[in-house]
Chain A
Amino acid sequence: MSVLIDEYTQILCQGITGSVGTFHTQQGLDYGSKIVAGVTPGKGGSTHLDLPVYNTVSEVMQNHEIDATVIYVPAAFAADAILEAVEAEIPLIVCITEGIPVQDMIPVSDILETSASLLIGPNCPGIITPDQCKIGIMPGAIHKAGNVGIVSRSGTLTYVAVDQTKQHGQSTCIGIGGDPIHGLDFIECLTMFEHDQDTDVIVMVGEIGGTAEEEAAEFIQTAVNKPIVSYIAGASAPPGKRMGHAGAIISGGKGTAEDKYKALENAGVHTVRTLAGIGEAVNKILA
């Protein structure tokens, strides 16, 4: 058992012939991920890294069983690629691309609401179940199979959390991405970890801004029984230079690291004030 992906997950890569797609597809194959096909419009019919390349996702679906797709296409075309994958009803869509215009993501999120597909990202490292399947740009070698589930908004912070939990290893690590509009959020990931037999402790790494952590805290109170260790990055960040009031009006002054810590502590979460404390807290729980 693991969350969302395992050794049988068959993967499509959208944007496979680009430099980023090529590099990380090779890394994924080396790790043992079952990447079976790629899409690059205009390059259909060719092969790349010994994999068949198609012009459209729909053609791929006629020829392969696909469980998940990973998207490396440039920012200007990434929303298009996500929507094409939703149209093809691929269950899991992982979008790595950074810098997608926010307004491109609004219709994507609208359409995802009525679809069975799940989106991870964009602007994220991806998802990995150590020793089984790696989808994304995280360094495979730092991970080890184990019983800690990790969910994080930031890329490199996920890696640090992995490093901090190296004594016990990880069940699955999910980087949900830091963009304002993204797919899977903490609540969905916590639910999956709660029901995953291989996960004994959950590490949740949040960031200032937005209210996703506060919402997660509310959810944890009633729906999560497994121990959770949480760190929120940005307690020391000065209030950003900003013009206009709309952001502050809509958040009503919420979203500071202190608000998030308070909400999580009320929900019984083990909070740590520096990321160096993550490992210690996890070790204590699993001792």
Chain B
Amino acid sequence: MYIHEYQSKRLLHTYEIPVPRSEVFTQGDSIEKFVANFGGESWIVKAQVHAGGRGKAGGILWTHTKEELKQQIDKLMGTRLVTKQTDAVGLPIQTLLVEKPANIKREIYLGLLVDRASKKITAIASAEGGINIEEVAETSPEKIASVNIHKTSGVQGYHCRLLAQDLNLNKAQFKQFSHILRQMYALFLDSDASLIEINPLIVAEDESLLALDAKMNFDDNALFRHKKIASLKDTSQENPIELKAKQHDLNYVKLDGSIGCIVNGAGLAMATMDLIKHNGGEPANFLDVGGNTTAQRVTQAFNLLIDDESVRSIFVNIFGGIVRCDVIAEGILQALEETELTLPVVVLLQGTNAEQGKEILKGKHQLITAVSELTEGAKLAIEKAGGQS
């Protein structure tokens, strides 16, 4: 689960990690009242959306007077921000972070994540922080320092020394850096985070370190034991169909194509998308109804795809395991009766009782074509969607 920058900074502040002075403006607040608390100095207004690339997209604005501050808040609030990481519709701006600008001498990168290769928590640091850090990692990996932190030992002095060896920190800064890493690690464990990133961690003009931007991600599977973190969720930042899918416990991701997919199991769902693309089509979505799916979940999946206007045909690919294909077939027929679907549906049932399932679907509904093979199914779904894209 992602959270906003202002929420991340509040968490950092709670863990005694220095962040810039700031105020949060929420949709519905009175601008007059809000601005009254500020003097005439410069401020930065930062749109709070769950996507990177905000600066280049016009979501971060500088102001130098009270009047300007008012104008910029008014300009951003309630609009949508389209960045290179969002879709064409963008994300709604409902919260603004108004922050005191810092004078930056240098930008450092500092991150913590669960690394699947080492099966440990890994800390990463680089003297070349800022927005181009990924390029640095790709072109000059020697400029990135990383170290695994064992859960039994926690952060030790050598972890800090190793990470800081190329950061050119003076004694006081190194002390502050060690403190920040230890506190970040504590927050990481306390909150079941999967990522905490301070980028940039700046060396300010007064030589102290300051967390200028922060990104955090938390393990969805652990939210049950972190009510406070869970309450930070902002559903306005999620695609409405994806949100509806989550409420039904379906794993859905919206894509750009025209062929709706209903598949059981995440791996098979990806493989079905591959198959459609391989045969010249474009999937409209990734949709996993669960490895051991039920007829009811397939019905919910149909209801979900009806909301997506770009879908031109639907490819149902179910491998019946414990749940038999004949039960799924009955479920599909029932779903078509209950929903107002008018799109062609191609159904591939494999596994337990696949033949019976196919038999049940045969000639029952004019929208349904039952197929018996993967490539055949993909090709037909592409054809029914109006041919190759």
Are A138 and B321 in touch, CB under 8 angstroms? yes
Is A39 an interface residue, CB under 8 A from the partner? no
- B382 to nearest A CB, angstroms? 13
Which chain B residues numbered 220 to 258 have a C-beta less than 8 Å away from chain A? 221-222, 224-225, 253, 255
- A237 to nearest B CB, angstroms? 6
- A109 to nearest B CB, angstroms? 4
- A212 to nearest B CB, angstroms? 8
Is A187 an interface residue, CB under 8 A from the partner? no
Which chain A residues numbered 237 to 267 have a C-beta less than 8 Å away from chain B? 237-238, 240-250, 252-253
- B267 to nearest A CB, angstroms? 2
> Which chain A residues border B124 with CB–CB below 8 Å?
246, 249-250
Are B225 and A76 in touch, CB under 8 angstroms? yes
Are B375 and A274 in touch, CB under 8 angstroms? yes
Is A268 an interface residue, CB under 8 A from the partner? no
Is B199 an interface residue, CB under 8 A from the partner? yes
> Which chain B residues border A76 with CB–CB below 8 Å?
224-225
Interface residue SS majority, chain B: mixed
Q: Which of A2-10, A86-94, A95-103 contacts B (4 or more CB under 8 A)?
A: A95-103
Is B355 an interface residue, CB under 8 A from the partner? no
> Other than the known A102-B222, A110-B152, A252-B138, what 20 A-B pairs have Cβ atoms closer than 8 Å?
A76-B224, A102-B194, A153-B267, A157-B265, A157-B271, A163-B319, A178-B267, A181-B116, A181-B119, A207-B270, A233-B270, A234-B274, A241-B85, A243-B195, A245-B197, A246-B197, A248-B134, A249-B124, A252-B137, A275-B268
16 contacts between A and B (CB under 8 A): A101-B221, A159-B321, A160-B319, A181-B119, A233-B267, A237-B286, A241-B85, A243-B52, A244-B111, A244-B199, A244-B215, A248-B134, A250-B113, A250-B117, A274-B271, A274-B374
- B29 to nearest A CB, angstroms? 25
| Complex-state Cα separation, A285 to B49, whole angstroms | 53
Is A139 an interface residue, CB under 8 A from the partner? yes
- A129 to nearest B CB, angstroms? 18
Are B199 and A245 in touch, CB under 8 angstroms? yes
| Complex-state Cα separation, A142 to B146, whole angstroms | 46
Q: Which residue of B lies closest to A75 (CB)?
A: B221
- B338 to nearest A CB, angstroms? 25
| Complex-state Cα separation, A234 to B273, whole angstroms | 8
Is A106 an interface residue, CB under 8 A from the partner? yes
Q: What string of 1s and 0s marks CB contacts (under 8 Å) between B278-293 and chain A?
A: 1000010010000110
- A286 to nearest B CB, angstroms? 20
- A249 to nearest B CB, angstroms? 4
Are A103 and B192 in touch, CB under 8 angstroms? yes
> Which chain B residues border A273 with CB–CB below 8 Å?
274, 278
Q: What string of 1s and 0s marks CB contacts (under 8 Å) between B159-198 and chain A?
A: 0000000000000000000000000000001001011010
Is A33 an interface residue, CB under 8 A from the partner? no
Are B271 and A160 in touch, CB under 8 angstroms? yes
Are A245 and B111 in touch, CB under 8 angstroms? yes
Is A156 an interface residue, CB under 8 A from the partner? yes
Are B114 and A103 in touch, CB under 8 angstroms? yes
B319 in complex: contacting residue of A99, A153, A156, CB < 8 Å: A156
> Which chain B residues border A157 with CB–CB below 8 Å?
265, 267-268, 271
Are A155 and B221 in touch, CB under 8 angstroms? no
B residues lining the A interface (CB < 8 Å): 2, 50-52, 85, 109, 111-117, 119-122, 124, 133-134, 137-138, 141, 144, 146, 150-152, 189, 192, 194-195, 197, 199, 215-217, 219, 221-222, 224-225, 253, 255, 263-268, 270-271, 273-278, 283, 286, 291-292, 319-322, 350-352, 373-375
> Which chain B residues border A242 with CB–CB below 8 Å?
85
Give the most central of A138, A238, A246: most B CB within 10 Å.
Answer: A246
A residues lining the B interface (CB < 8 Å): 23, 27, 75-76, 99-107, 109-110, 125, 137-139, 141-142, 152-157, 159-160, 163, 178, 180-181, 205, 207-211, 231, 233-238, 240-250, 252-253, 273-276
| Complex-state Cα separation, A137 to B291, whole angstroms | 10
Are A155 and B265 in touch, CB under 8 angstroms? yes
> Which chain B residues border A75 with CB–CB below 8 Å?
221
- A274 to nearest B CB, angstroms? 5
Give the most central of A178, A242, A250: most B CB within 10 Å.
Answer: A250
- B358 to nearest A CB, angstroms? 14
B374 in complex: contacting residue of A102, A208, A210, A276, CB < 8 Å: A276
Are A156 and B264 in touch, CB under 8 angstroms? yes
Are B134 and A249 in touch, CB under 8 angstroms? yes
> Which chain B residues border A102 with CB–CB below 8 Å?
114, 192, 194, 219, 221-222
Closest 4 CB pairs of A and B: A154-B267, A156-B265, A101-B222, A157-B267
- B277 to nearest A CB, angstroms? 4
Are B275 and A101 in touch, CB under 8 angstroms? no
Are A106 and B319 in touch, CB under 8 angstroms? no
